């Protein structure tokens, strides 16, 4: 049990690194606690609400009671299966805004500005526009990750984009191209009707090479001798053993498990480790700090016509959708049904979008509970850059114990102001002419919920995580006491140990985190191999010419 590189976690970044390192001739062992991704619940895009709620595929984490959300414990699903969270997520593909990465760079993540990361987004993508237009010059055409678009066959999906235009917002042919701001078609990691996870895109190809293998095991900690990582201690087949790394140990275990493993290995806030009787190898107060996420609300409308996906929401309907998918990878099951979206600014003076909409042509919760009212539609909406910060800490020194996850959601007054705007701006969209043929009444929050206090009560009771945790091992300069890794992913204070996953994000990006997580794995692979990074591309993103004085 030895390799040049031991990667902990077969998730979005881990799969990309396994592919690139093995492609370069290095021997790679990926250690993953979860099992196979075979089966329709994962591979069928339309079944996305199932794997996220299955113990077999999900670590099953929950937050501690959230004080600003009526002490609710919110679900924090993380993929426990090959492909990691890319095998259980909603398959939405969003790079993030150019300004997000420039902010990373300005915060000390040198070499991670938009010009630096754009070539890696292109390298990873195989983009199919599906006839909906787009920005081919900004997109990749021959990468391992297929990115496609839905058919937009449902009239509600098209009405959402039209309503955005009627409300005075920009339209964009490609929010992953030059212009993120506006309403347009949604990209998804789906190819030929199947979920195109990081496992399908990267790992399965890598595992066909003789120098790449996967081990089913639960990693307990990194083994650090005299200040350098030499391997990982893992339970494999019921036995504890050390898997040795000749070159480096790379943690790609998620923004929840990577900080946990660092702390169990003696890297983290010294006093916290001492509390649990763990010897301190490197006192890094930033480990487990800076936890961020996106919260969202579902604004739901009842439909006046039977046009929504609710017609499949019964035993026969689901059987029919399943059959179409099994026989021909076709029908509603071949799409994640997030086929139109929007990115807008909440106010004049906000430089780039800080609100995201996912539109869905059915009124349903993420756990698959449909609205009792039957036909409907909804927009998931939430602020992109909350100022609230939380933490991941150890419950005990026992690796079998779940970590303590405190998001501290809605702890800043600005979050409440932003969320109220989100609700009011969504209502305004649904009032547009495009929805007139389909609009019946508002299911949630309901027409009587109008004042700030009433909206706040709704937010406290109904805000849900969008499942985008990140930031808990943030990258920065080596002299930054809050940074955990340097801009090459090297853990500050320990040799031959890296972290490469969404825990490195200094600040959460605009939109869903799968695309930037894969990009990070791609770019880190070049750093690990000691290659010169791809040459920067100084593409100029579209910014609203009147952003200082106009909201739209």
- What span, in angstroms and rounded, lies between the C-alpha atoms of 442 and 419? 18
Helix residue spans in 242-334 (DSSP H):
254-264, 270-275, 315-328
Count of alpha carbons within 13 angstroms of residue 179, beta-carbon side: 20
Strand bridging mode 2-8 / 28-32: parallel
The number of beta carbons lying within 10 Å of the beta carbon of residue 498 is 24
* Given 68, 146, 468, 544, the catalytic residue: 468
- What span, in angstroms and rounded, lies between the C-alpha atoms of 261 and 233? 11
- What span, in angstroms and rounded, lies between the C-alpha atoms of 11 and 37? 12
User: Is 267 labeled as ligand-binding?
Assistant: no
What own/partner pairs with CB < 8 Å and gap ≥ 24 does 20-24 have?
Answer: 20/521, 20/522, 20/525, 20/526, 20/529, 21/212, 21/525, 21/528, 21/529, 22/206, 22/209, 22/211, 22/212, 23/206, 23/209, 24/525, 24/529
User: Is 81 labeled as ligand-binding?
Assistant: yes
Strand bridging mode 212-216 / 28-32: parallel
- What span, in angstroms and rounded, lies between the C-alpha atoms of 286 and 351? 29
Q: Which of 409, 387, 524, 543 is nearest to 464 (CA)?
A: 409
For the chain, how big is the Rg over CA atoms in Å? Answer: 22
What is residue 35's DSSP assignment?
Answer: B
**How distant, in Å, are the alpha carbons of 22, 48, 76, 299 from that of 146?**
20, 18, 26, 30
List of residues 6+ apart from 308 with CB closer than 8 A: 154, 156, 361, 362, 363, 375, 376, 377
Q: Look up 441 and say whether it is catalytic.
A: no
What is residue 292's DSSP assignment?
Answer: B
- The phi and psi torsions of 381 (rounded to 5 degrees) equal -140, 145
List of residues 6+ apart from 225 with CB closer than 8 A: none
Burial (0-12, 13-18, 19+ Cβ within 10 Å), 201: buried
Q: Provide the β-strand partners of residue 61.
A: 76
DSSP sequence for 131-199: TS---GGGS-SSSSEEEEE----SHHHHHHHHHHHHTT--B-S-TTTT--SEEEEPEESEETTEE--HI
- What span, in angstroms and rounded, lies between the C-alpha atoms of 33 and 449? 45
Residues catalogued as catalytic: 468
Could you list the residues known to form a binding site, using ranges. 81, 219
Could you list the residues known to form a binding site for FAD, using ranges. 81, 219
């Amino acid at each position: 049990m030895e390799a040049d590189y031991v990667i902990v976690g077969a998730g979005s970044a881990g799969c990309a690194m396994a592919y690139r390192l093995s492609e370069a001739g290095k021997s790679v062992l990926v250690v993953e606690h979860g099992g196979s991704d075979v089966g329709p619940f994962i591979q069928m895009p339309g079944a996305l609400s199932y794997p996220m709620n299955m113990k077999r595929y999900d670590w099953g984490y929950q937050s501690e009671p959230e004080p600003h959300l009526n002490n609710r414990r919110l679900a924090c699903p993380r993929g426990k299966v090959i492909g990691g969270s890319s095998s259980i997520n909603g398959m939405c593909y969003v790079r993030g805004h150019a300004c997000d990465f420039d902010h990373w760079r300005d915060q000390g993540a040198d070499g991670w500005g938009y010009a630096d990361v754009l070539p890696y987004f292109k390298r990873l993508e195989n983009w199919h526009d599906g006839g909906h237009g787009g920005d081919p010059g900004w997109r990749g055409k021959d990468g391992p990750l297929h990115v496609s678009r839905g058919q937009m066959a449902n009239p509600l999906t098209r009405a959402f984009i039209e309503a955005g235009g009627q409300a005075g917002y920009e339209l964009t042919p490609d929010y992953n191209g030059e212009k993120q701001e506006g309403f347009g078609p949604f990209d998804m990691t789906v190819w030929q009707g199947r979920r195109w996870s990081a496992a399908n895109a990267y790992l399965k190809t890598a595992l066909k090479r003789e120098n790449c293998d996967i081990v089913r095991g639960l990693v307990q900690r990194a083994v650090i001798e005299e200040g350098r990582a030499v391997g990982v201690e893992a339970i494999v087949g019921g036995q504890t053993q050390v898997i040795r790394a000749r070159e480096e140990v790379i943690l790609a275990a998620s923004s929840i498990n990577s900080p946990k493993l660092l702390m169990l290995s003696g890297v983290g806030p010294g006093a916290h480790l001492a509390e649990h009787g763990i010897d301190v190898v490197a006192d890094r107060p930033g480990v487990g700090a800076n936890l961020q996420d996106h919260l969202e609300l579902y604004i739901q409308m009842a439909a006046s016509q039977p046009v929504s996906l609710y017609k499949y929401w019964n035993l026969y309907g689901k059987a029919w959708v399943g059959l179409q998918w099994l026989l021909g990878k076709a029908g509603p099951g071949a799409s994640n049904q997030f086929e139109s979206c929007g990115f807008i600014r909440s106010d004049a003076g906000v430089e780039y979008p800080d609100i995201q909409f996912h539109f869905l042509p059915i009124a349903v919760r993420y756990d698959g509970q449909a609205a009792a009212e039957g036909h409907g539609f909804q927009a998931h909406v939430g602020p992109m850059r909350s100022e609230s910060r939380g933490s991941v800490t150890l419950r005990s020194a026992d690796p079998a114990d779940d970590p303590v996850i405190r998001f501290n959601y809605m702890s800043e007054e600005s979050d409440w102001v932003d969320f109220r705007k989100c609700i009011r701006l969504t209502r305004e969209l649904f009032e547009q002419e495009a929805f007139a043929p389909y609009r019946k009444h508002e299911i949630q929050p309901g027409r009587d919920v109008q004042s700030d206090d009433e909206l706040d009560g709704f937010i406290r009771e109904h805000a849900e995580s969008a499942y985008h945790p990140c930031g808990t091992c943030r990258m920065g300069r080596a002299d930054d006491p809050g940074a955990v890794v340097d801009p090459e992913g090297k853990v500050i204070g320990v040799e031959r140990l890296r972290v490469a996953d969404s825990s490195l994000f200094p600040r959460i990006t605009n939109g869903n985190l799968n695309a930037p997580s894969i990009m990070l794995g791609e770019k880190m692979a070049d750093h690990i191999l000691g290659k010169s990074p791809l040459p920067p591309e100084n593409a100029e993103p579209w910014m609203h010419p009147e952003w200082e004085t106009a909201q739209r």
